[in-house]
Structure 1
């Protein structure tokens, strides 16, 4: 079995109330990936907690379309939100 060569190139994190997002640009076997990890803090009844994690791997060939799509969604949101504010 071939050993993976993994190197982190750039890292940013975003901390919200009960969530954290980690954005990690990694080089894995000569390919680049943006790895987005969502970590949710789950509180239990006995005052304990655990973190539930979800990971998304985006290959370098998909960076542009991912960025474009995300940008379109955010633009749409702000456009619609401004229309709602104007109606009030």
Structure 2
């Protein structure tokens, strides 16, 4: 079953390769969508794919790459969206 989630990650998540690492994780797990920096220093992601792979990605987002410090992850399921790839904005 395919699912889509809009994820808002707070903490030290900009300038620590969070988006690039998220893209790498997404590619490894067949997930499409995007990751983009927000003006408040947080990162927003749309992750779309198979439910099992999306759950793996959601768990990874709770810790992020080694240089990041994730303080809070807000996860909201949204209507399924199809994307060709995972982009960084």
Higher relative contact order (CA 8 A, sep 6+): 2
Q: Which has the higher helix share?
A: 1
TM-score (norm 2): 0.27
TM-score by length of structure 1 reads 0.27
The structure number with the bigger radius of gyration is: 1
More strand per residue: 1 or 2? 1
